[in-house]
């Protein structure tokens, strides 16, 4: 998603993961964002290509940043450079500082529908470059429906289970046949969310 936005806005991307990042890395990313705005076009990377290139700072697991780390972001977020995109599975209204939230647009992503997941699974089976299309897989419709149902709207979970089933099932007559019983074994039990 971040790279799609960056391509449309012709912005550079800085990525951090809050579980492994620290204040020093955060400050370095913010400094690079400021520097990009100052540099002439000839000194920018091919990604930016424009004088005054903006930077999107993507922070995964942003809820893991402590108060001090979030405070470091404040002056730069207020000035609009960089554009901050944070991803979290937690409620940001509880996990982030209210000052940071007040300067943010919060977008909630909803779980995918069963129909969306079925489409994604079928595309993964057909795609020979980025999917499993080279493996000659024949999947029962009931098997794909089961994956789409138990994945609870999570495409990554559905695709991981499909890949596990495809890679651990031996070929029979040159094909990998995915049945309901096989995919049931490949998907983990649902984690209960409280």
Predicted confidence at residue 51, as pLDDT, reads: 56
Mean pLDDT, residues 72-80: 92
Q: Is the pLDDT assigned to residue 144 strictly greater than 90? A: yes
pTM value surpassing 0.75: no
30-39, 117-126, 156-165: which has the minimum mean pLDDT? 30-39
Output the average pLDDT for the chain: 88
pLDDT of residue 46: 46
Task: Provide the token pair at 87.
Answer: 């991803």
- State pLDDT tens for residues 89-112: 899 999 999 999 998 889 988 999
In this prediction, residue 40 carries a pLDDT of 60
Instruction: Residue 45: name the closest of 4, 17, 84, 11 by CA.
Output: 11
pLDDT mean over 122-144: 95
Q: CA-CA distances (angstroms) from residue 193 to 80, 90, 152?
A: 35, 11, 11
Place of tokens 């402590």: 66
Output the CA–CA distances (angstroms, integers) from residue 49 to 1, 13, 57, 59, 81, in the order listed: 21, 13, 18, 23, 17
d(CA 26, CA 41): 24
pLDDT at 177 exceeding the cut of 60: yes
Centroid of chain to Cα 154: 11
Give the pLDDT mean for 156-177.
94
Q: Where do we find the tokens 């289970």?
A: 161
């Amino acid at each position: 998603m971040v790279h799609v936005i960056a391509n449309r806005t012709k912005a550079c991307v800085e990525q951090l993961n809050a579980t492994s990042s620290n204040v020093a890395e955060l400050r370095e990313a913010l400094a690079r964002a400021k520097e990009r705005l100052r540099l002439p076009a000839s000194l920018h990377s091919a990604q930016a290509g424009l004088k005054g290139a903006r930077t999107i700072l993507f922070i995964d697991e942003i809820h893991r940043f402590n108060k001090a780390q979030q405070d470091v972001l404040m002056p730069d977020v207020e000035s609009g450079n960089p554009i901050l995109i944070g991803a979290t599975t937690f409620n940001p209204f509880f996990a982030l500082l209210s000052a940071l939230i007040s300067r943010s647009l919060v977008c909630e992503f909803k779980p995918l529908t069963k129909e969306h997941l079925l489409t994604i699974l079928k595309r993964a089976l057909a795609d020979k470059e980025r999917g499993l299309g080279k493996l000659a897989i024949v999947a029962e419709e009931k098997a794909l429906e089961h994956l789409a149902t138990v994945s609870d709207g999570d495409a990554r979970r559905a695709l991981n289970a499909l890949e596990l089933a495809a890679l651990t099932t031996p070929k029979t007559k040159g094909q990998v046949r995915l049945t309901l019983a096989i995919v049931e074994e490949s998907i983990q039990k649902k984690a209960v969310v409280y």
